[in-house]
Amino acid sequence: MTARALSVTVDGARLLDGVDFAARPGELHALLGPNGAGKSTLLGALAGDVKPSAGSVSLDGRDLTGWKLRELARERAVLLQQHDVYFPFTVRQVIEMGRAPWRGTAAEDDDERLIEEAMQLTDVSALAERTVPSLSGGERARAALARVLAQGASLLMLDEPTAALDLKHQEDVLRLVRERATAGATVIVVVHDLSLAAAYADRVTLLQHGRVVATGTPGDVLTAERIGEVYGQPVEVFEHPRTGAPLIVPLR
């Protein structure tokens, strides 16, 4: 997936400004930056849910505007930042919705297997018959992720999938999508925790004011000087003694 000179303007505000971006199969690519940097807008534009005011987005070499909606739904699965469900659907029913793009195709035969697998991977099997409005925020987030996984797409686009989760489930989610990337999927994920992103991402793109500050490996991009400039918060960056990944600690 690639974007070229991508800009998004809403109500006169430039949310993205000339962004170039690329994510590859087998790669977990994290979008980073402070609040209002343009991370969710970029993810929405890449998903085809936000219309660019300039520039282009292409998937598998085809401009995104040339994809039919159902066709696109079979290629990419999107987890939004807001995933509230107000109707009394059960967790299983919500996850089943992820299989809708494959209705009427031979892939329908995989529905039950993929639904069960997604529930197990996200630790929601015990919640299958609970209604979504009865769940905690973290449980809802895991059910929403299970729906995305059950969709069976080769491109996963996740907006803050760890935001409502406890420590264990944060690690579980990043480990899970890391495994998907290793198996050949393309994963684009918005993450606020810089150390968490550095631990699991192959590449990161750091945004500020709708522009790309830097793209590269976590070690190359996440320097103390650059983080301090972008976030307005001095930090110390240490190398993890076992993995070598950057550990970012606010200077207190």
Per-residue model confidence (pLDDT) at position 164: 85
| Residue indicated by tokens 């990337």 | 181
pTM here? 0.95
pLDDT tens digits, the chain, 252 residues: what are they?
A: 999 999 999 999 999 999 999 999 999 999 999 999 999 999 999 999 999 999 999 999 999 999 999 999 999 999 988 766 667 899 999 999 999 999 999 999 999 999 999 999 999 999 999 999 999 999 999 999 999 999 999 999 999 999 889 999 999 999 999 999 999 999 999 999 999 999 999 999 999 999 999 999 999 999 999 999 999 999 999 999 999 999 999 999
Kindly list the structural domains of the chain, giving each domain's residue range(s) and its CATH number in brackets, ordered by start: 2-250 (3.40.50.300)
C-alpha 143/C-alpha 150 separation (Å) is 11
DSSP lists the bridge partners of residue 22 as 2
Q: Compute the CA torsion angle 220, 222, 223, 227 (nearest 10 deg).
A: 150
C-alpha 218/C-alpha 245 separation (Å) is 8
- CB neighbours of residue 110 within 10 Å: 15
DSSP state of 90: B
C-alpha 194/C-alpha 45 separation (Å) is 23
Per-residue model confidence (pLDDT) at position 86: 67
Residue 120: both structure tokens together: 């197990």
Tens-place pLDDT, residues 130-171: 999 999 999 999 999 999 999 999 999 999 999 889 999 999
CB within 8 A of 67, min separation 6: which ones?
Answer: 48, 59, 75
Per-residue model confidence (pLDDT) at position 84: 67
| Residue indicated by tokens 């935001």 | 163
C-alpha 125/C-alpha 60 separation (Å) is 34
Of the chain, the end-to-end C-alpha distance in Å amounts to 39
C-alpha 170/C-alpha 174 separation (Å) is 6
